[in-house]
Homo-oligomer: A and B are copies of this chain.
Amino acid sequence: MPDLYGFDRETTVVPRDPGRYDGELHEGWRIGLGINGGLLLAVAGRALAAEFGGGQGTHGEPIAISGYYLSAARPGAVSVRAEALRRGRTLSTGTASVRQGDEERLRVLATYGDLGRNHADVRTSATPPQMPPPEECAGSETAPAGFRKHAPLLDRFELRLDPATAGWTTGAPSGRGLIQGWFRLPDGREPDPLALLLAVDALPPVSLDLGVAGWTPTLELTVHVRARPAPGWLRLKHSTRNFAHGYLEEDAEVWDSAGRLVAQSRQLARVRS
Contacts and interface: CB of A to CB of B under 8 A. Distances in A.
Contacts of A95: 95, 107
Interface of A: 63-64, 66, 68, 70-71, 85-86, 91, 93, 95, 104, 107-111, 115, 117, 119, 121-126, 175-177, 210, 219-220, 222, 224, 226-227, 240-247, 249, 260-261, 264, 266, 268, 271, 273
Number of copies: 2
Contact of A124 (B64, B86, B115, B242): B242
A261 B244 CA distance: 9
Nearest to A220: B64
A219 B91 contact: yes
Nearest to A243: B123
Contact of A63 (B93, B119, B241, B268): B268
A68, A91, A210, most chain B CB atoms within 10 A = A68
A210 B123 CA distance: 8
B222 A176 contact: no
A124 B268 contact: no
A122 B243 contact: yes
20 contacts: A63-B247, A64-B68, A64-B219, A66-B109, A66-B220, A68-B85, A68-B110, A95-B95, A107-B109, A108-B109, A109-B109, A111-B219, A119-B244, A119-B245, A121-B273, A123-B243, A125-B177, A224-B268, A226-B242, A227-B245
Contact of A271 (B117, B121, B219): B121
A271 B268 CA distance: 27
Contacts of A177: 123, 125
Contacts of A243: 121-124
Contacts of A68: 64, 66, 85, 93, 109-111
Given A93-B70, A109-B109, A219-B64, A244 B117 contact: no
A95 B268 CA distance: 17
A5 B181 CA distance: 50
A71 B91 contact: no
Given A68-B111, A109-B109, A123-B177, 4 more contacts: A108-B109, A119-B246, A224-B268, A249-B264
A249 to B, nearest CB: 6
